[in-house]
Structure 1
Amino acid sequence: MIRLLIIDDSALMRKLLAGIFEQEGDFEIRTARNGAEALVLAGSFAPHVATLDINMPVMDGLTCLSRLMVETPLPIVVVSSQTPEGAETTLEALALGAVDVIAKPAGTVSLGIDRIQPMLVEKVRAAAGARLRPTLRLADRIRHAMSRTASPDQPAPAAPPARHRADQPDPTAGLVLIGASTGGPQALETILTGFPEDLPWPVLVAQHMPASFTGAFAQRLNRICPLPVSEVRQPTILLPGHIHVARGDADLIVARRPAGLIATPVPSSPSHRWHPSVDRMVTSALNHVPAGLLVGVLVTGMGDDGAAAMARLSAEGGQTIAQDEDTAVVWGMPGALVRLGGADDVAPLPDIAQSVARAVARACSHTREATCR
């Protein structure tokens, strides 16, 4: 049996969520009305996984999460509102160690809960099997969150220095393609903040995440990364050294226009299970860019999205990197790539940024010197 702790101040939400998992037949469930109750139950019930609301009385979700990750660490799926404020606090929760997020249904909850039920169950099952590794700088993040709670007037951290990047596409440049799911936001933060400021290729990121969160996620990354980061909300010219995050609940594809390569959001494909689809992003890139000018990266996440397309990328002469099992929260996606024989490099999370930089340099060395600045 999977022991599940549901943490939510809404009696209706607790009842609906408990009903969903009771139907599954293999969950033992306890509920908590706030963070203080959750801390007590985490010790006595010893759950394998928890769902967590953010806005609660007595003890809010972020404070509860910070305490849980120190005192009784366990995988947590945030079930959050879709408001802009909800998006920001949800990203704080992911930075503190939550492994996944799902948006609460808009409108009448009792009518919308059926729509999210299949994805919610799959996310919670995957989280229950997740391995919690010491997250890079997690202790510092928790101390920072607690200090901000104690001192709300503390100045915000300084923005990264102004980044002067090329404002024209490079017609001969390649692309870095990154796919992630469960545990991905923390992994992506580690990778993208480690990229060199002179990375000569555009970077495309497909992180399985609802649309209500991807914009705030891109903004958060833009504040901490050495390269500019933005969400792809419309057809966007791909510029060297820019990071483009796919919009949630849609797919991102690569196309070629007279001005150069573009990334554009398109309606999610029913033939792909997860969105933004990594497989669809990589396949579209292969249709317009030689495989030798593509570097594919697959990191933590459930399922196998991206594995088939990246195995093809490798077979056609591109370079692929899979996160290793020891540092992945869920080794589903990168593990599938390894099992297909499509991973040219299997690297621990802290080494992936440099592995990408080396792969780009190798690809550049096969082109004219003037191609890569």
Structure 2
Amino acid sequence: MTSQLEKSRTIKVLVVDDSAFMRKVISEMLEEADNIEVIDRARNGIDALRKLEKCNPDVITLDVEMPKMDGLQFLEKLVQVTGKSIPVVMLSSLTTKQSKTTIKALELGAVDFVAKPSGSISLDINKVQEKLIEKVRLAAKAKVKLDKAPSLSNTSLSLKKRKLKRINRNKKNLSQGQRPASNKKLVVIGASTGGPRALKEVVTLLPEDLNAEILIIQHMPPGFTTSLAERLNKLSKIKVKEAQEGDRLEKGLALLAPGDYHMVIERGKVSLSQSDKVHNVRPAVDITMESVIAEYGNNIVGVLLTGMGKDGAEGLKLIRDAGGQTIAQDEESCVVYGMPKAAYELGAVDVVKSIDDIAVEIVRRVNS
């Protein structure tokens, strides 16, 4: 009964783009879907805020670069000016500048983005249309928490840092006999929709002396993973880089799977592959998690963050079955409670935590 209601519910969309042609193209693409209606269009962020005084969309599609008020400025103002938390899907071309801006937009609370091929959505309409409709439908069901300000509060950060310091003090008090036989520990983090913001909340709080190697798998197209790695590296105490063929795993280094490549670990080194997609995604969390079991065994901490689908659930189960430890993000703090839910239902999760507590939990389990 519920699924029938969801299918019949019309999703109201506000299209925001500085190009009249693009507003027309995007609107026409969306309205070909049975349950999507474009209720208004805006030419920039200022115009969009004005339109929101009169209309109440379920989803906003938002261009990255616009005159007067661009996509980032609009996201910063959306809750502050309107008091509304409306799911936003960004439209971004595959340029370095726009991919960096898109990563910042996702940090600010945009649910997802659609990459414009060859820098123009009009060059490959059919390819983009399917993705756009899919992501608008997903966004309509997502939970959003748009920031009034882009950074965490000083109080929140202070509390988390105090917890991390306490855990590190406890680690120093452990006798050698209480430690695992091998010091080689690994943290594997998987994420999808809502992941860039969740990764920022987790990775930027990991201490630089964390006694573990780190792998991150985020569902994202090529180019955008480069920008995500650079952004996380800039904000974090640990080093973060996009993985390359032959990279060696190191303590205090996080390797992020590049877009459109599965990341497999063989004898402590990265091997990249464009083999068939798993769960219709590449990179896939399951592929990476499965590849590390033989080498790291019970010294793995597996983490699943927000995301659609079930990628990572089987991998997390393999980690737990091998004696490793597993953490899943809770429903309340997920943008989309898909991957963590699938893992929980499979019996693959040791502990469920809010995104605010996951960094602390990772450090605690690495040090245990």
Mark yes or no: TM-score above 0.5.
Answer: yes
Q: Structure 2: which amino acid aligns with 1:61?
A: G
* Equivalent in the alignment of 2:284: 277
Structure 1 residues 135-214: aligned runs within 5 Å: 139=149, 141=151, 173-214=184-225
Deviates more, 1:175-184 or 1:119-128: 119-128
Check if 1:300 corresponds to 2:310.
no
Q: Structure 1: which amino acid aligns with 2:139?
A: A
2:89 aligned residue (54, 77, 90): 77
In structure 2, the CA distance between the partners of 1:321 and 1:55, relative to structure 1 (3 Å rule), is same
Alpha-carbon deviation of 1:271? 3.9
Q: Secondary structure at the match of 2:306?
A: coil
Q: Structure 1: which amino acid aligns with 2:23?
A: R
Taking the aligned partners of 2:360 and 2:210, their CA distance within structure 1 comes to 11
Q: Structure 1: which amino acid aligns with 2:367?
A: A
* Equivalent in the alignment of 1:367: none
For structure 2, list consecutive stretches of 5 or more residues without a partner in the other structure: 1-9, 154-181
* Equivalent in the alignment of 1:31: 41
2:332 aligned residue (317, 326, 334): 326
TM-score normalised per structure 1: 0.83
In structure 2, the CA distance between the partners of 1:69 and 1:325, relative to structure 1 (3 Å rule), is same
Check if 1:123 corresponds to 2:135.
yes
Contact 2:121 2:128 in 1 (8 A): no
Taking the aligned partners of 1:114 and 1:324, their CA distance within structure 2 comes to 36
Q: Secondary structure at the match of 1:303?
A: coil
Check if 1:101 corresponds to 2:113.
yes
1:44 aligned residue (54, 68, 80): 54
* Equivalent in the alignment of 1:255: 266
CA RMSD for the aligned pairs?
2.0
Q: Secondary structure at the match of 2:68?
A: coil
Taking the aligned partners of 2:256 and 2:37, their CA distance within structure 1 comes to 37
Deviates more, 1:63-72 or 1:201-210: 63-72
Contact 1:105 1:113 in 2 (8 A): no
Contact 2:30 2:133 in 1 (8 A): yes
Q: Secondary structure at the match of 1:338?
A: helix
Q: Secondary structure at the match of 2:37?
A: strand
Q: Structure 2: which amino acid aligns with 1:40?
A: R
* Equivalent in the alignment of 2:320: 314
* Equivalent in the alignment of 1:63: 73
Q: Secondary structure at the match of 1:276?
A: coil
Check if 1:359 corresponds to 2:352.
no
Q: Structure 1: which amino acid aligns with 2:346?
A: L
Taking the aligned partners of 2:255 and 2:361, their CA distance within structure 1 comes to 19
Taking the aligned partners of 1:97 and 1:299, their CA distance within structure 2 comes to 15
Q: Secondary structure at the match of 1:47?
A: coil
Taking the aligned partners of 2:275 and 2:43, their CA distance within structure 1 comes to 36
Q: Structure 2: which amino acid aligns with 1:263?
A: V
1:113 aligned residue (105, 110, 125): 125
Q: Structure 2: which amino acid aligns with 1:264?
A: S
Taking the aligned partners of 1:114 and 1:304, their CA distance within structure 2 comes to 26
1:231 aligned residue (242, 253, 256): 242
Check if 1:345 corresponds to 2:359.
no
1:246 aligned residue (257, 273, 278): 257
* Equivalent in the alignment of 1:153: none
Task: Provide the aligned length of Structure 1 versus Structure 2.
Answer: 328
Deviates more, 1:48-57 or 1:8-17: 8-17
Cα-to-partner distance string for 1:175-203 (whole Å, 9 max, x where unaligned): 11101111111110111111122211111
Percent of counterpart pairs with the same letter?
A: 42
Cα-to-partner distance string for 1:236-286 (whole Å, 9 max, x where unaligned): 000111111111122211111xxxx01232215234312321111111222
In structure 2, the CA distance between the partners of 1:9 and 1:179, relative to structure 1 (3 Å rule), is same
* Equivalent in the alignment of 1:19: 28
Alpha-carbon deviation of 1:139? 2.2
* Equivalent in the alignment of 2:3: none
Alpha-carbon deviation of 1:123? 2.0
Taking the aligned partners of 2:73 and 2:119, their CA distance within structure 1 comes to 27
Cα-to-partner distance string for 1:285-336 (whole Å, 9 max, x where unaligned): 22x3243111110011111111122122212322110000111111111111
Taking the aligned partners of 1:210 and 1:229, their CA distance within structure 2 comes to 18
In structure 2, the CA distance between the partners of 1:230 and 1:75, relative to structure 1 (3 Å rule), is same
In structure 2, the CA distance between the partners of 1:223 and 1:3, relative to structure 1 (3 Å rule), is same
Alpha-carbon deviation of 1:42? 2.3
2:98 aligned residue (86, 90, 114): 86
Alpha-carbon deviation of 1:31? 2.1
Q: Structure 1: which amino acid aligns with 2:198?
A: A
